[in-house]
Each structure stands twice: as C-alpha cells, then as structure tokens.
Amino acid sequence: MVHDLLLAAAYVSDAQYSRNVPFETSPQTIRLYYFYNHWTMRAATNFFIFVDLSLALFEEPALFPLPFLATSIAEVLCLTAFFGRLIHFAKVTPQTVFWKDTKNICIMVTIVLTLVDLIVYGSLEAINIHSVRWSRALRPVFLINFPESRQIRRAFRSIRNTLPDILYVFLLFMFNMLIFSLMALKLFGDRGLKTVEGSPYFTNILEIIFDLYVLVTTANSPDVMMPAYDFNRWYSLYFITYIIINTYIFMSVFLAVVYNNYRKHLKNEIRKLVYLKHYKMVEAFNLLKVKVGAEFVVKEAEWRRLTKVVVPDISSSHLELLLRISDEGQKGHVDKTNFLRLADLLNIQVITISVRRHPLEAWMPRVYKSSVSLFIQKVVQHRIFVWIYDAIILLNAIFIALDEKNPFISYAEWLFLSLYVIEILLKLYTYEPKAYFGRKQFWNWFDTLIIIAALVATVANATIQSARKYNSQQILDIVLVLRILRLLRVIISIQRFRVIVTTLINIGPTILTFGGLVLVVYYTFAIIGMEVFQGKVRFFDPNVTTPDALVCGNPALKDAAFARDRYCKNNFNDLAASFVVLIELTVVNQWHIIAEGFSLVTHPTAKLYFIFFHIVVVILIVNIFIAFILEAFFVAY
Amino acid sequence: MVHDLLLAAAYVSDAQYSRNVPFETSPQTIRLYYFYNHWTMRAATNFFIFVDLSLALFEEPALFPLPFLATSIAEVLCLTAFFGRLIHFAKVTPQTVFWKDTKNICIMVTIVLTLVDLIVYGSLEAINIHSVRWSRALRPVFLINFPESRQIRRAFRSIRNTLPDILYVFLLFMFNMLIFSLMALKLFGDRGLKTVEGSPYFTNILEIIFDLYVLVTTANSPDVMMPAYDFNRWYSLYFITYIIINTYIFMSVFLAVVYNNYRKHLKNEIRKLVYLKHYKMVEAFNLLKVKVGAEFVVKEAEWRRLTKVVVPDISSSHLELLLRISDEGQKGHVDKTNFLRLADLLNIQVITISVRRHPLEAWMPRVYKSSVSLFIQKVVQHRIFVWIYDAIILLNAIFIALDEKNPFISYAEWLFLSLYVIEILLKLYTYEPKAYFGRKQFWNWFDTLIIIAALVATVANATIQSARKYNSQQILDIVLVLRILRLLRVIISIQRFRVIVTTLINIGPTILTFGGLVLVVYYTFAIIGMEVFQGKVRFFDPNVTTPDALVCGNPALKDAAFARDRYCKNNFNDLAASFVVLIELTVVNQWHIIAEGFSLVTHPTAKLYFIFFHIVVVILIVNIFIAFILEAFFVAY
Ligand code: NA
C-alpha cells in the first residue's frame, strides 16, 4: 500500500512538473527516483554544469589564469559528477529506454571525448607541444542534455523543425544573391571605380558575394552603393531592387517561416504535454482506485495522504481547499475526472488574502485608531499622495540632470532619499505589511528594494568618502545607477505603462530560456573563436598612440577599418571579450568590419565563421525570439 | 424597366469591385454614375494625379528645370481636372453625403490652398522675392482621397488605428530612453573620454538622447560603446542591457502591436466589405425580383440582360457557365441565394482549357504526325530535356562569370542565345501555342520574354557596335542584365522554389499598394526635405579632389563623417536624389551620419526631420509591411 502510494505520488509529481521520465516501479527504484528528483540533486547537477562552463574563464586564453592542472582536475570532478548523475538515471529508468535515449548517449560520448582530449592535451603539454583543447566547445552538451533543461531543448527542437522549411527559402535567397553578384561583376567590374578607401570596386566575385551578403544585413548601406551611384545615378536602381527583394522580402519571409513553424511546433508540444499528463494521472488513479457503487474512486483519506507525499509542505488550508474542489459533493471520495485535475490544481498558486489587522493596531489600538493616525492613513491612501510623489520624482530627475558638483544639489540628494524612505514608512504604517509585500506585489517590492539599495549605497559611499577622502568609483557608479533607477517608479502611476511592463515581466521566464539558448550557442562560438583568433588582435590603453597600438598590435590591420574605428578591444582574447564581440555580431551593425578585421589577421575564409554566426543567431534564433514575443503579446494583449 | 436594370447593374458592379459610393437613383444620375466609373474617366484622373506629382521633377530644385509659368499652368490644369472630377462626383452622390465625406473636403481644401500658394508665390516671384512652394507637400492628398485609391486609404486607416495602442508603448520606450540617457550622462560624462573622432564623449544630454535613439536602430553599434568599453569592460553591461531592452524587446513589441492591430483591422475591413456586398446585391435583387410560386426570383432572361450590362464583353460560354451555376435546377429563374452570389462569381477568373489540336497538325497533319515529328515532341516533353537545358544554363553562368574580353567566350554567347531560341521554338512546336501562353502560365511568359528581350538587345548592340565601332553603354548594360536574368530560369525546374516564388508573385499586388503608401509618405518628406536642404550639399565628380569637393561644397562639413564617407550625392537637390536618400534612411544603416551631415549644414534641430522619418517609415510602415508578409505567408503556406 505504501509502495502504491509512493508510486502514485511519483506519477502525480511527474504530471505536475511535466516530467517525461519512464522509471521502474519496484519499491527500491521509486525511492531512488525520488532521490533523483530531489532539489539538492538537481542543484548539485546545475552547480557542476555551471563550474564546467565557467572553466573557460580560467583556461588559456584566460580572464583569470589558472594552471592547467587546476582546471583539468576541476573538469574531471565535473565529469565524475555528470557520470554519477547518469548512473543514477540508469538505475531508475529501464535498461532498454536508457540506451535508446540519444540524450544519454550524447552525455556519455562527450564525457569520453573530453577525457581523451584532456589526456592528449596534457601529455603534449608535458613535452611542451601546444595543441588545441577542442572538447571545450562540447561543454554545452551537458547543459542541453540533462533532463532538467527541458525548456532549452524544446527551443532547440523548434529550431531543428524549422530547418527543412527554411532551407529552401535560404537556397533561393542564396541563388538570388549569386545572380545579383554576377550582375554586379559585369556591370561595375570593368568601370575602374574605387571605393572610399581607394580599393578596386566590385572586381572580385567572392568579395562581391560577401559585400552583397553584408548588404542584406544592411550593415554596409549606403557605402557599398556610393561609387556606382556617383558614377551614374541609374545604378542606384540595381541596389534598391536588391534591397527590396533580399533585405525586405526575403528577411520577412524568413521570419514568416520561422514564426509559422514556431506556432505549429508549440501546438504539437502542448498537445503532447497534455497527453502525457493525462496518461500519468490515469496511472496514479489506477493504483489508488477502489470501487464505490458502480464507479471507481479514490477515498478521501488516501487522496489526502497522496497530496501530502506530493507536496510535503502544503498548508492544511490549501489542502482543504483542493479537497473541496475535488470532492464537490462532499461524498468522502474523489471521482476519476476530479482526480485527473489534481496535477493542474497543484500548479495553481493560491494567494491567501486574509483581511488581517495591522500589527500596530493589535499592539497599540488606541494610538493607531486615533484621529491623527486615521488622518495620516487617509492621506496616504489618497490619489494626491501618489501625485505628490510623482512630482517629487520628476523634481528629482531634474536635480539629477543638473550638475552635482554644486553642494546644494548634492545635499538635495539626501533630502530626496529621506522623502522616499518616509514614503515607504508611511505606506507600511497604513497598509498591512504582509499584504503589502505579498507574493504578487511586484511593484511594492521593486519600489522598496530600489530605495533600500540606494540608501545603503549612498551611506556606504558617504562613509568611504569621509573616511578615505576620496570616492570609490564602483560604489559611486552603483549609487548613480540606483538613484536613476528610482525614477522608474513613475511607471507605477500610469495604468497603461503598468500593463505593458506586467506583460513583459510575465514573459520574463521564457526570455530567460532564450538566454540559455543564446548562452549555449555563444559558448560554442566563443570557444571556437578563442582557439582561432586569440592573441591576433591586442588592446592597448587608449592613451597609447604608438604605431603598434594604432593597428591593434598586428601590422596586417594597417589601413583596415577595424583599426581605424579603434575596435582593438573587440577581440577573442578571453571569454568575456569574446561574448561582447558575439553580442556586437548579434546586433549586426558593423559586423562586416569585425569580420574583415579578423580575416585580415588570419585568412579570408575566417569570414565564414562570421557568416555562419549570422545565419545561426540572427536568422534563426533572433527570429524565433521575435516570434515568441509576437505570440506572447497576442495572448496577453 | 430599363432604368431598374441599369440601377441593378450598377449595384452588382459596385458589389463586384467593392465600391462604396452612395449614388442617387434617378435615371439621369445613374448614367452619370456609369460615366463616372468608366475606365477612361478613371484613367484620366490617374493621369492627372501622375502629372501633378511629377511636377516636382520640373520645379526648383529641378531634375529637368522648366520655367515657373510652365509648371504652374500644368498644375492649374491638373487642379481643374480634379475639380471637374469632384463636381462629377457631387452630381452623382446625394448632397448631404457629399458634404459629410472628409475625402471631398480634403480635396477641395487642397485645391484652394494650392491656388493660394501658386498666386502668392507667383506674385512674390514677379517682384523677385523667393518664397517657399509649401503646398507641394500636399499633392499626395489627391492620390489618397480619390475613391480609386481604396487600397492605399485602407493601409492609412490601418496605421491610424494602430496609433493609440502604439502611443503608450512609444511613450514608455521614450521614458526608458531618457532614464538611460541620464544614466549615461552621470556615468560617462565626467570621465573626460573621447570618441574615435576626438570629440567629447557623452557630455551633452541632448546629444546622448540622439546617440541612444540611434543605438536603438543599431546604426552606431558598437562605436558608441567603444570609448566606455575601452575605459572599463564592465561598462559594456550598460550598453548590452540597453540594447536588449530597447532594440530587441521594444522593437519586437512595436511589431507585435502593429501586427495585432493589422489583423484586427483586416478582420473588420473584410467583415464590412462582405456586409456591403451583401447589401448592394439585395438592393439589386429587390429591383428585379418577380414572384414565382411562394418565393421571389429573378427570371433567366432578366438575369442574362443584367449580367451583360455588368460585363459587356462576357463570352457566351462564360455566361452559360455562370447561369448553370446560378440556376442549378434549370428552372428558368435564379433564386435569391444564388443571385446574391453573382458578384463573387464574376470575380472568379475562368480559364478555358480546350484541348485544341496544334495548328500545325491542322495545317499539315501528315508531317506533324510523322514518326520523326512525334519523336521530337516526345523528347521535348521528357524530363531529360529540362535537365539538359538546366545544365546549359549552368554552363552559361560559368561563361558569364569568365572574362568576356576573350573572343571565344563572346561567340559562345551567340551559341547560348540560339540554344534558348531553339528551345522555345521546340516547345511551341510541341505544345499548343494558345495553351502554352495561357493567362496563368506565368513561367512560360517569363521564359519567352527574357529570351526575346535578350535577343533583341544583343542584336541591337551588335548592330550599333559594327556600325559605329563602339559599344552603347546603356544597351550593353541592358544586354548584361538580361543575359544574367536568364539564369533565373533554373528556378522553374525546382518545385519548392516555384512554390515560394508563386506565393511572392501572388502577394505582388498588395506589395504594390505598399509601394503607393511609401510613395505618398516619401513624396511629402522629399518636398519638405528639398525646401529645407536644397543646395546645402553639392556633389562634385569623384575625380575632383579640390578642398571644396572634399567637403561637398560646404565648409560646415569639414571633419564630418558625412564628407569623409563621400556621401555628397546623398542630397536633396532634386526629387530623384531625395528619394534615394529617403530609401537609404529606410534601410536605416548610417542614417545618423546623413542626419548629422544635414544638421551641420543647417541647424541641430534638423535631426528631428530624420527621427520623425524613422518613426513614421521604419517603426510604422515597415512593420505593417512585415505584418502583411507574415499574414500572407500564413495563408499561403
Ligand atoms: Na545597421
């Protein structure tokens, strides 16, 4: 009986969290499965994934260099943890299922490959031969393939499903680009035209193809047109046609195809999830059902025990509420239809709004209920109170914009801070604190935290300042940012703004999923970029103007736009710098200058790295992101 | 009776073309209404609208200068025509309706304003005072407000309906931008940092706001970040946060809001159209109905007469087909339900596919049916024939890419041309010509026209070349473009490509509506731009390198990126040049350089012109265009 209960609770819990893990049903395995799903085990796995990914910060080219021995020991530790987690999973799930799941195979293969790489690299290093730590690019495999990363995997599946459809559009787009390249070669190649930099204009077909690909991203518009346009104004028609077809129509079609697939895929996933949930709940029901009259039901006592196993820390009032919903007729048992709803019911957040008395009222009722106190409470609750504080915030904004070297203005800052603190104290005096800081009271939390943070930072800064007679730059920056973030409070007063922001906050978790997806792709590209481009471009202090500093330490960049625009710090010399470069490439503008720079210091084929990045990140991932925002806003608005 | 028939036909015709013009029903007015809708009258109106808009090419600053007298006479002629058209409309429509319609008021006010402007400008010109022809910016009013431009008006309505929703998002976006600007001023303003050009970095709040607006469009990324990033790598977080929020999230939200409104609006418009159509058809039915048995119907003879009035050139087979559909039971009359469908039935294109014999078969059956002839036909119909010609096209592409100075390659061109002509002749020999060049046979038409055009152009070029011993540049360019466009034929062989292209061609007409919408907006902006910026920036031949030429003839542009990038030809010195600049601004990249340039030669507030253009064209119109492509692809795919 206890075994059945545990098994049923595992099913319900799986349904609640939409887990899709087939597990063996022997008593011992179920306990193992509970342990597998325990938050400590999941946290440990996430911790090791985090450590494993972070290693790139400490390995050559390092942001914080550590010896190879230290990072390799850490990596072996992580691999051991991953292997342990996998073994644990293998004990829980049936053998045949385990070996059929590509996720598990992926993890195992990656562990073995990483070990091989570590051994080979370490041995070569021992005899002073420097080789490439290629297995580092595989690390995101762990992030993707552990069952916890369901969301990221779903996003990847969505991309994979889009590929066949997008492929033909992409081929047609490429074909069209080639036709236009050929036309450009024939129309402009023999004219003897020169670009602004004085190099020959449209004479080499490969360079033309690259230039026209860049034009699709608009990054070299209108520069790429100017020589031809200066020569003859009619030639602008060529470029305008090209931009209309390839930038406007084709890029919109890419978005349309991605969006269309995203919607289809989303529908399928939701259908699958619903089916799975239903199936698991039926299994749980079948374990616990007893026959009452003509139908099978679950007895109330059994139902209580089950729910307590699934959610050990459920409050008794919550439990009673769920029971009242599930056993509408108060018959002492839950029928099948109501039982199946349990997983969904558990996912509904219950907010207990109890009309509690203010603690001060309980503590000193006479004072709190006095006419002065009541008047204060009435004032605070009045609209004008909000308006006055909005005016104060606007005044504050003006003071911030003014020069703060003026001591008067610097004192005003303390005045504003105290006004804000007084506001929060007044609100806490008027409203019941537990209700004011309720779970869903996002804006109250935001308000209070910003003020407290600003207060702490300002006090800290003042202390340091008076103690050491100088400003701490970091703290001063934080104080500044917090002081300005306070102005965001104006949003609260405007209903329409609050609706938009709430919508954005609600889709926040999914935006984080995209963060994970982007992290995975960035990480792989960053590792490859670091292996290929590290040290080729160096950053010198902006004040240094030696010839070497002007070409980012690489003579190949002489006369290159990369050096002229002072992009030396856009390099792949450590993980953080690489990520910044990849973000710049995602933003797209000037990406061709960066691509050109890195191809000058290595080889022209290096441009393929940047083109491939553009296709993967901008055409696929950014479009999926836009599709997601569109869909989220259609549902919310 | 004849009057009823004419009136009913007018209703059906209105329903067929979705016209929504209330008209008086007296016999005389109906004839006037027929005349109003006659294609010659519509063509004449469009012609005068075209002439009126084109005048900007001939007025100062002119592409082809004409004296003020000539252009003003032409303009008065156009205004007379517009006024005549309006009077005609007033005669047709009831007085009360006429004066309530803002479209008519708009046209009248614009006519009066234009006349006033012409008189004032002309008088001042007569006493040698140069003023501004401001009424020219109003000319698109005629294009929008005549009943013919239903599509463009619908697009404008769609934009107008979006405005309230987008306004709040835009305000929040601006507010957010201001907060970030303030932060930038405080964080970076006192650091003494310098931009690449050596100017102070982030010290003036207005310049910061402009720079951050430009960053939303990504046009100055990563340059705007580099000084801060070079100073301290942590400052990149400020810019990354800004880009994620304002470029990615807010711009996607703009698209979402526009798209959402577009869909809602589209649904409403369609519902209204359907209702209107139904209403008009019921009116027509009520005019012609007679009672047969228990129900009202329209007699077959009456129905035939009506259809012939609505579509005078209908073929008898088409008429019979429609009748057979409308009078299913062959009862000699059409009932109400079937009658109401007439407008839609008339809009369905009927393609008569008659299995005709090949004309050659009729002419010389023995030869055409001989075994050699049959073999040829079989070969042409075979897949391999298509493949062989695809191979020939690819070979042709390689030859085009090779150097054409080589005489052998130049002769090869003639070989390819003849091969293509032979292909078409063979196809015409095999397939029945009328079927091959059917209405819906887009690809056959495309194929043949490209080949014939290339043949004509090549022959023309060769003739000129041998006669005058030199190449005509224009014809040579056309020959080149046509020669390369021929390669597009490969698309025909690949099914998936054909599907995509067919979808794009089907949405072509609506893309043209957007063309009209963009034309209207561009025209107004171009006229304003010409009045404000004409002559401020001048273009010199690229070979001239006098100091004056290097600053586009304006010393204010010394050290400006505008002059350094050689953007001198991006000016507002005539309508064509203005349109090219506006297209470049629509593409967005480098728009800040252009805005900066024109504000340097006039006044810093000139930037507002460019920011306003960005908001109207990129945030509103381009997003509606994307929304439209998305919707079209969802329906088609
Ligand atoms: Na750009």
pLDDT digits (tens, 9 = 90+) for A356-390: 778 888 888 888 888 888 899 899 888 888 889 88
Mean pLDDT value across residues B353-357: 67
Q: Are A459 and A483 in contact (CB under 8 A)?
A: no
B288 near A CB under 8 A? no
- Cβ atoms of A596 and B257 within 8 Å: the answer is no
Nearest to B148 by CA among B281, B6, B44, B7: B44
How many angstroms separate the CA atoms of A269 and B109, rounded?
A: 58
pLDDT of residue B597: 95
d(CA B593, CA B601): 13
Bridge partners (DSSP) listed for residue A194 = A200
pLDDT given for residue B4 in this prediction: 87
CB neighbour list of residue A200: distance below 8 Å, 6 or more residues apart = A192, A193, A194
Q: How far is B429 from chain A (nearest CA, A)?
A: 31
Triad A160, A163, A164: Cα angle to 5°:
120
* Chain B contact set for A253 (CB, 8 A): 500, 504, 629, 633
| A333-335/A295-299 β-pairing | antiparallel
Question: A577, B233: Cβ pair inside 8 Å?
Answer: yes
The residue whose two tokens read 């091989």 is: A116
Among B145-154, B257-266, B589-598, the minimum mean pLDDT is found in B145-154
Show the CA angle centred on residue B577, arms to residues B571 and B580, nearest 5°: 100
As beta bridge partners, residue A74 has none
Q: Note whether B64 contacts A: Cβ–Cβ < 8 A.
A: no
Burial class (CB in 10 A: 0-12, 13-18, 19+), B320: exposed
Mean pLDDT for chain B overall: 88
Which of the pair, A485 or B117, is modelled with greater confidence? B117
- pLDDT confidence tier of residue B292, bands split at 50, 70 and 90: confident
CATH classification code of B359-494: 1.20.120.350
* A589:B221 CB<8 A: yes
What is the rounded average pLDDT of the residues A115-122?
94
Cβ pair B300, B327 in contact under 8 A: yes
Select from 1.20.1260, 1.10.287, 2.60.120, 2.60.40 the CATH code of B155-268: 1.10.287
Cα–Cα nearest to A195, from A169, A214, A220, A161 = A220
User: What's the distance, CA A158 to chain centroid?
Assistant: 17
If contacts are CB pairs under 8 Å, which of residues 319-348 in chain A contact chain B? none
Q: Does A567 touch chain B (CB under 8 A)?
A: yes
Mutate to test the interface with B, among A63, A181, A204, A226 (most CBs of B within 10 A): A226
Mean pLDDT of chain A: 88
Distance from CA of A413 to the nearest CA of B (A): 14
* Percent of the residues in chain B that have a pLDDT greater than 70, as a whole number: 97
> Checking phi first, is residue A422 left (phi over 0); if not, alpha (psi -120 to 50) or beta?
alpha
**Residue A408 corresponds to which tokens in the numbers above?**
């008067």
Q: How confident is the model at residue B352 (pLDDT cuts 50, 70, 90)?
A: low
One-letter amino acid for residue A239 of the chain: F
Write the single-letter amino acid at B167.
Answer: L
| A-B contacts at Cβ under 8 angstroms | 211
* Span A24-58, pLDDT tens digits: 888 888 889 989 989 899 999 999 999 999 999 99
Chain B residues in contact with A226 (beta carbon < 8 A): 565-567, 569-570
A396 and chain B in contact, CB less than 8 A:
no
User: Is the four-CA dihedral A512, A518, A520, A523 of positive or negative sign?
Assistant: negative
Reply yes or no: is the peptide bond before residue B222 cis, omega within 30 of 0. yes
- Within 68-107 of B, beta carbons closer than 8 Å to A belong to none
Please provide the size of chain B in residues: 637
The H or E element containing residue A335 is strand A333-335
Q: Compare CB distances from B253 to A168, A175, A629 and report the shortest one's residue.
A: A629
B406 Cβ under 8 Å from any chain A Cβ: no
User: So what's the pLDDT on residue B393?
Assistant: 87
A406 vs B contacts (CB less than 8 Å): none
**pLDDT band with cut points at 50, 70 and 90 for residue B534:** very high
Residue B403 has phi, psi (to 5 degrees) of: -70, 125
What tens digit of pLDDT does each residue of A401-432 get? 776 667 777 788 888 889 988 998 998 888 88
Higher pLDDT, A536 or A412: A536
**Looking at CA atoms only, how far is residue B281 from chain A in angstroms?**
36
CA distance, residue B613 to nearest chain A CA (Å): 17
The answer to whether B501 contacts chain A (CB < 8 Å) is: yes
Query: What is the pLDDT averaged over residues B36-62?
Result: 92
Structure-block tokens of residue A443: 């804006």
Name the residue facing B634 among A260, A484, A504 (closest C-beta).
A260
Q: At A502, is the pLDDT very low, low, confident or very high (cuts 50, 70, 90)?
A: confident
**C-beta atoms of B629 and A577 within 8 A:** no
| Residue B193 to residues A183, A402, B228, Cα–Cα distance (Å) | 46, 20, 8
The alpha carbon of residue A348 and the mean position of all alpha carbons in its chain are separated, in whole angstroms, by: 25
Residue B218 CA to ligand 1 center (angstroms) comes to: 5
Query: Crossing angle of helices A623-636/B251-288, nearest 10°?
Result: 60
CA distance B352 to B53: 41
Rounded to whole angstroms, how far apart are CA atoms A264 and A165?
A: 12
Long-range contacts of A61-64 (CB under 8 A, 24+ apart): A61/A530, A61/A534, A61/A535, A61/A572, A61/A573, A61/A574, A62/A574, A63/A574, A63/A575, A63/A576
CB within 8 Å of B597: residues ≥ 6 apart: B537, B552, B557, B560, B561, B562, B563, B567, B570
A342 alpha carbon to ligand 1 midpoint, in Å?
Answer: 51
Render pLDDT for A252-271 as a digit per residue (tens, 0 to 9). Answer: 889 998 888 888 888 888 89
Q: Is the pLDDT of residue A637 over 70?
A: no
C-alpha closest to that of A308 among A615, A2, A629, A619 = A2
B205 touches chain A (CB under 8 A): yes
User: Residue A470 pLDDT > 80, yes or no?
Assistant: no
For chain A, how many residues are written?
637
Which of A218, A404, A481 lies nearest to residue B589, judging by beta carbons? Answer: A218
pLDDT tens for residues A135-172? 999 999 998 887 667 878 888 888 888 888 889 899 99
Residue A218 Cα to ligand 1 midpoint, Å, equals 5
DSSP string, B421-465: HHHHHHHHHHS-HHHHT-TT-HHHHHHHHHHHHHHHHHHHHHHHH
Q: Would the CB atoms of A218 and B587 count as touching at under 8 Å? A: yes
* Concatenated DSSP letters of B151-163: HHHHHHHHHHHHH
Nearest chain A Cα distance for residue B533, angstroms? 19
**C-alpha span between B390 and B395 (Å, rounded):** 9
Best of B170, B403, B500, B573 to mutate (most A CBs within 10 Å, chain A): B500
